[in-house]
């Protein structure tokens, strides 16, 4: 009888240490948690090949991951989670050669419109510069 009572007390104590995480209560609200750097298409459109590390850091912010073994790669990661469920994840990796931006990979790529707009603005600056005495 005593061993049965002792084992029952041990079983209850063991089950109570798992607390609420094991069962999971229905109707408990879990908030969305955002982590990382928010990078959007307008920021990526500002990046140009050949920019310095300082300019890239000014536009995108401090990278989420700066690999100490590969200092020529910066990773920007932004995710939204609801509890354990991953709702959204966006990634952008920028690569450098020396101190200059060499390429970008990930969910965002520079749009052709931004490149054309820069070329047209340079062309108008050149023509207006020639027209002034």
131: confidence class by pLDDT, cuts 50, 70, 90: very low
pLDDT digits (tens, 9 = 90+) for 79-115: 999 888 899 999 999 999 999 999 999 888 888 754 4
Domain assignment present for residue 44? The answer is yes
**Residue among 92, 99, 96, 10 at smallest CA distance from 45:** 92
pLDDT digits (tens, 9 = 90+) for 7-58: 888 777 776 665 555 566 677 778 889 998 888 899 999 999 999 999 999 9
Domain CATH code at residue 42? 3.30.1450
Q: Is 28 exposed, middle or buried (0-12, 13-18, 19+ CB in 10 A)?
A: exposed
Domain assignment present for residue 95? The answer is yes
**What confidence score (pLDDT) does residue 104 get?**
92
Domain assignment present for residue 22? The answer is no
**What confidence score (pLDDT) does residue 68 get?**
83
With b meaning 16 or more CB within 10 Å and e meaning fewer, what string describes 76-93? bbbeebeeeeeeeebbbb
Domain assignment present for residue 119? The answer is no
Rounded mean pLDDT, 57-75: 88
Domain assignment present for residue 60? The answer is yes
* Token pair for 133: 């005495």
Domain assignment present for residue 117? The answer is no
Residue 52 belongs to what domain range?
Answer: 29-107
Considering its fold, how many domains does the chain have in total? 1
């Amino acid at each position: 009888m005593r061993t049965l009572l002792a084992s029952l007390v041990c079983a209850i104590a063991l089950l109570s240490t798992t607390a609420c995480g094991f069962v999971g209560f229905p109707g408990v609200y879990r908030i969305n948690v955002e982590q990382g750097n928010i990078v959007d298409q307008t920021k990526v459109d500002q990046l140009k090949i050949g920019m310095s590390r300082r300019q890239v850091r000014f536009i995108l912010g401090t990278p989420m991951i700066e690999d100490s073994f590969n200092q020529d790669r910066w990773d920007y990661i932004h995710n939204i989670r609801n509890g354990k469920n991953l709702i959204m994840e966006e990634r952008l990796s920028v690569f450098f050669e020396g101190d200059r931006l060499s390429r970008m990979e990930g969910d965002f790529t520079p749009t052709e419109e931004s490149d054309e707009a820069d070329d047209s603005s340079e062309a108008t600056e050149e023509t207006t510069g020639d027209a002034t005495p």
